[in-house]
Amino acid sequence: MPRAQLPHWEHFDHDADMGIRGIAPTLAGSFEQAALALTAVTTDPNAVRKTRTISIKCRAPDNELLFLDWINELIYQMSTQHLIFGRYEVKIEQGELTATASGETVDRERHQPAVEAKGGTFTELRVYRNEEAMWVAQCIVDV
C-alpha cells in the first residue's frame, strides 16, 4: 500500500495558530489521526503512556460539526483533567461519535509541553474525501 494510503496525520501552517489534519481510509480513522495531530501540537504522542482511558460521545448534524465537537471535547478533557492522550479509538454511526482516549496525567518534565491547545475553530474546517478516496478531517487549533 502506498504511503499516501496509510493512515497518518500532519500539521499545516496558519499565521499564529496550528492546523491539524488526519488522513485515513475511514471517517473514524481520520478523526483518530487528527486527534494524534492535536496531541503532537503539545508533545510527542509516542511519549504518552496509556494509563487512563476516558469515554467521549458527541453528536452533530454533519461531519464538520462532529469533528469540531470531537476536537473541542478532547481539549476540554485535557485541560480540566490535566491529561494528555496518545491513543484514540473512534466509532461513528449516523452522526454519533463514540470514542475512547487513552493517556496519562501531564508530566511537565517528561512531556515538555511546547504549547497548549485552547480550542478547535471553524477556520479551515473541512471533512472530505481526497482524490485517493481517503478521508481527511482538518481544522485550525488556537494555541
> pLDDT class for 5, splitting at 50, 70, 90?
confident
pLDDT band at 114; cut points 50, 70, 90: confident
Please give the pLDDT value at position 38. Answer: 96
pLDDT in tens, 30-76: 999 999 999 999 999 999 999 999 999 999 999 999 999 999 999 99
Burial of 10 (0-12, 13-18, 19+ CB in 10 A): middle
Contact 97, 90 (CB under 8 A): yes
Q: Where do the domains of the chain lie, and which CATH numbers do they carry?
A: 8-142 (3.55.10.10)
Phi/psi of residue 34, nearest 5 degrees: -65, -35
3-state helix, strand, coil in the chain (%, to 5): 30, 40, 30
